[in-house]
Amino acid sequence: MGANSSVDRWVNEMIQLCQPDKVVWCDGSVEERDRLTTEALSTGEITELNQELLPGCYLHRTAKNDVARTENLTFICTTKQEDAGPTNNWMSPEEAYAKLGAIFEGSMRGRTMYVVPFLMGIPGSPFNKIGIELTDSIYVVLNMRIMTRMGKVALDELGESDDFTKCLHAKHELDIEKRFICHFPEDNAIWSVGSGYGGNVLLGKKCLALRLASHMGRNEGWMAEHMLILGVQRPDGKTFYIAGAFPSACGKTNLAMLVPPASMPGWKVWTVGDDIAWMRMGPDGRLWAINPEAGFFGVVPGTNYKTNPNAMRSIAKNTIYTNVVHGPHNTVWWEGHDNPPPDQGTDWMGQPWTPTCGEKGAHANARFTAPASQCPSISPEWTNPQGVPISAIIFGARRARVAPLVYQSHNWQHGTYIAATMASETTAAALGAQGVVRRDPMAMLPFCGYNMADYFGHWLEMGKKLTNAPLIFRVNWFRQDENGKFLWPGFGDNLRVLKWIIDRCNGEGEAEETPIGSVPSIGAIDLEGTNVSPETMAQLLHVNKDEWYDELQSQTDWFQQFGYQLPLGIWQEHEALKDRLTR
Ligand code: GTP
Ligand code: SPV
Ligand code: MN
């Protein structure tokens, strides 16, 4: 067969289990991509779009009940339940292997099993991890080819080693009753069955690069985070790198590809990554980060040449569109597109659709899959195996009230506490109610592969080791006025906030002390060229002590679930905030 003996042995076992008619080893070549594309076209798994207007682009529709990550069907399978912690669904490995094993058994009869070796990381990087995904879906293979460094490059990097993540996926019947996404950190394995949606099935992404990698990072002394990475270049030519954690559908891709407003000439933003950061301490005591992915799996609705021109250019070719409107001239459309809606089209469910039918044409969590190399703002450093040095970490979430536009933590421990108590309104990226405020520490609630209390502890430990740690900030682009209107213009204008953050990293930028942290002085954020009034700015930066006191109470409830495992440093910060608020 195709690889070293440990890979061959495991693949053989899985062939025995799933009983595919045929096995295809993927090498990642262009010839292979074209062959698989032709095959997927012939079965209707994908549809070819207008190759003149959208070269290399295809459309795919998922099943109606399979449009987002299913957090309630996602499990961490550890021997001891407390290793998964109170915020994860848990199943014992025995139960999970038995339950899923029964579903996988014979599941690929009449189908082909694709063997997909993939590299998370950059060839030659000390950060790298290898996975092998077995799947019955060509859509998954074509996506993995964009999202990871797939095929020969991964097997070459693996060599004779048996250190790889064993990833098994079958769409099977797409039955939600038989859908499970199970992680086995003790075995370095992932089993996913019954889904064909992105985060559930592109196993290198959330499953490996966050859930398993967070667990590895804790054991090996590094961090796997749900963060974008960008470089901000000042007019003087100096570039500062920032990592930012925002919950799903809260603005990572948009921020990573920011285009400076016309009123900030000479500024430039470079994209390193839009979703995942792996970070470790460098010899200089700073935190260095890489983007382990090779593509973007981004939210489509709302993407246009005004909000995100770099994304629009990234998805103009070689892109897979999932769950958008199929329009006239064999092109695609979605809510928030630059073009007006087509008179008629086919919606994400494959039904005839008109703009007046009362339903959205694209699913709110419709996605594009595009190579990162196509992004006009891609950083020349994005393939640097050593990564980029991080000056600041920002945590952002959707809060209509309470959280100011930006504030700075006092130090790493305080920043960790702010991140650990971050709350956000839920979005369409996961199945379930939307707009409900929930705690989403470090934007990792659905992605932390072990006990979250230990994860907070790991953050505090990393802070102690870093002799030149990044500064930590909280941002909120989503504060609203009494009428539910966003107070802050957002998107390109977010650079104004990044500028203040960089100033602070350089010992500049004016700030006022408040009980929750340092907020910019009125006037410290450059508003030239916006129509944000100083009064609106004051509203954006306002810290309401009563609201924060209520916030503090609800944090206590949230922390209670971790019991004695919650690190002392987090409680200390909680108590210190109470002190400052009641002083
Ligand atoms: P995932 O891929 O799910 O992890 O999402 P993400 O964090 O990359 O979010 P993305 O950048 O795709 O943005 C999601 C939604 O937030 C889109 O509808 C954007 O239009 C909206 N959004 C992004 N940035 C801003 C902003 O600065 N202000 C406002 N008001 N909305 C924003
Ligand atoms: C997210 O939900 O955070 C995503 C999309 O980035 S998915 O890959 O489906 O998880
Ligand atoms: Mn994401």
Q: Do residues 537 and 522 touch, judged by C-beta distance below 8 A?
A: yes
Q: At residue 226, does pLDDT exceed 90?
A: yes
Nearest CA to ligand 1 atom 4: 248
> In this structure, which residue's CA is closest to atom 9 in ligand 2?
199
Q: Among residues 39, 115, 58, 30, which one has the least CA distance to residue 323?
A: 58
Ligand 3 geometric centre to CA of 249 (Å): 7
Strand partners, 346: 326, 352
When the pLDDT of each residue in the chain is averaged and rounded to a whole number, the result is 97
Helix (H, G, I), strand (E, B) or coil at 190: strand
Ligand 1 centre to CA of 14 (Å) is: 39
Atom of ligand 2 nearest to the CA of 248: 3
Residue 260: pLDDT band with limits 50, 70, 90:
very high
Q: What is the pLDDT of residue 431?
A: 86
DSSP-assigned letters across all residues of 514-579: ETTEEEEPTTTS--TTS---HHHHHHHH---HHHHHHHHHHHHHHHHTTGGGS-HHHHHHHHHHHH
pLDDT at 298 over 70: yes
Q: How far is the CA of 7 from the centre of ligand 1 (A)?
A: 39
CATH number belonging to domain 225-294+379-581: 3.90.228.20
Tell me the CA–centroid distance for residue 8 and ligand 3, in Å: 32
Place of tokens 């002394």: 221
Residue with tokens 């339903």: 359
Burial of 553 (0-12, 13-18, 19+ CB in 10 A): exposed
Rounding to the nearest 10 degrees, give the CA dihedral for residues 170, 174, 176, 182.
Answer: 10
Q: Which residues on adjacent β-strands are paired with residue 204?
A: none
- Quick one: what percent of the chain has pLDDT higher than 70? 100
Structure tokens at 333: 């459309």
Residue nearest atom 3 of ligand 2, based on CA coordinates: 248
Q: To test the ligand 2 pocket, which listed residue (147, 206, 448) has its Cβ within 8 A of the most ligand atoms?
A: 206
Best probe residue, ligand 1, of 69, 299, 485 (max atoms within 8 Å of C-beta): 299
- What would the mean pLDDT of 228-248 be, rounded to a whole number? 98
Q: Where are the beta strands (DSSP E) in 209-308?
A: 223-225, 227-233, 239-245, 268-273, 277-281, 287-290, 295-299
Can you give the pLDDT at residue 436?
A: 85
Q: CB–CB of 234/266 below 8 Å?
A: yes
Asked whether the predicted pLDDT for residue 307 surpasses 70, the reply is yes
Closest listed ligand to the CA of 405: 1
Atom of ligand 2 nearest to the CA of 429: 2
205 CA to centre of ligand 3 in angstroms = 9
pLDDT exceeds cutoff 80 at 487: yes
Of 57, 167, 182, 250, which residue is the catalytic one?
A: 250
Sign of CA dihedral 319, 325, 327, 330: positive
Residue nearest to atom 4 of ligand 2 (CA): 248
Hey, CA dihedral for 41, 334, 148, 109, is it positive or negative? Answer: negative
Q: How confident is the model at residue 437 (pLDDT cuts 50, 70, 90)?
A: confident
Which residue's CA is the closest to the ligand 1 atom numbered 5? 249
Pick the CATH number of 5-44+70-221 from 3.40.50.1220, 3.40.1010.10, 3.20.20.100, 3.40.449.10: 3.40.449.10
Q: Which residues surround ligand 3, an ion (CB under 5 A)?
A: 248, 275
26 in active site: no
Closest of 38, 30, 168 to residue 105, by C-alpha = 168
Q: Which of 4, 273, 13, 38 is nearest to 163 (CA)?
A: 4
Which residues have any ligand 1 atom within 6 Å of their CB? 246, 248-254, 274-275, 298-299, 302, 307, 429, 477-478, 486, 490-491, 494
Strand 165-170 relative to strand 189-193: parallel, antiparallel, unpaired?
parallel
pLDDT value, residue 21: 98
Q: For residue 427, name the pLDDT band (cuts at 50, 70, 90).
A: confident
Q: Which atom of ligand 2 is nearest to the CA of 198?
A: 9
Torsion of CA 188, 199, 94, 98, to 10 degrees: -130
Sorting pLDDT into bands at 50, 70 and 90, what band is 263?
very high
> What are 437's strand-pairing partners?
425
> Helices (H), strands (E): how many in the chain?
15, 31
Sequence length of the chain is 583
Q: Is the pLDDT of residue 1 over 80?
A: no
Question: Which protein residue has the closest C-alpha to ligand 2 atom 10?
Answer: 199
What is the predicted pLDDT for the residue at 360?
Answer: 98
Q: Domain segments of the chain: what residues?
A: 5-44+70-221, 225-294+379-581, 296-374
Distance between CA atoms of residues 174 and 345, nearest Å: 26
Q: Which helix (H) or strand (E) holds 35?
A: helix 30-43
Q: How many CA atoms lie within 13 A of 457 on its CB side?
A: 14
pLDDT at 433: 83
pLDDT of residue 74: 98
Confidence band of 429 (pLDDT split at 50, 70, 90) = confident
Please state which of the four CATH numbers 2.60.40.10, 1.10.540.10, 3.10.20.30, 2.170.8.10 is assigned to the domain occupying 296-374: 2.170.8.10
Give 177 Cα–ligand 1 centroid separation in angstroms: 31
Atom 14 of ligand 1, nearest CA residue: 249
CA 444 – CA 546 distance, rounded (Å): 28
Instruction: Give the residue from 170, 169, 210, 213 showing the smallest Cα distance to 188.
Output: 213
**For residue 516, which of 440, 577, 474 has the smallest C-alpha distance?**
577
CA dihedral over 261, 262, 263, 267, signed as positive or negative: positive
Ligand 2: atom nearest CA of 247 is 3
Ligand approaching nearest to the C-alpha of 274: 1
Task: Report pLDDT digits (tens) over 541-575.
Answer: 999 999 999 999 999 989 999 999 999 999 999 99
Residues with CB under 6 A from ligand 2: 69, 198-199, 205-206, 248, 275, 297, 429
Confidence at residue 477, expressed as pLDDT on a 0 to 100 scale = 97
Q: Do residues 225 and 442 make contact, with C-beta atoms less than 8 angstroms apart? A: yes
Other beta carbons less than 10 A from residue 345's beta carbon: 21
The CA 536 to ligand 2 mean position distance, Å, reads 33
Going from the Cα of 365 to the center of ligand 1, the distance in angstroms, rounded, reads 11
Are 543 and 581 in contact by the 8 Å Cβ rule? The answer is no
> What does the pLDDT look like over 67-126, one tens digit per residue?
999 999 999 999 999 999 999 999 999 999 999 999 999 999 999 999 999 999 999 999
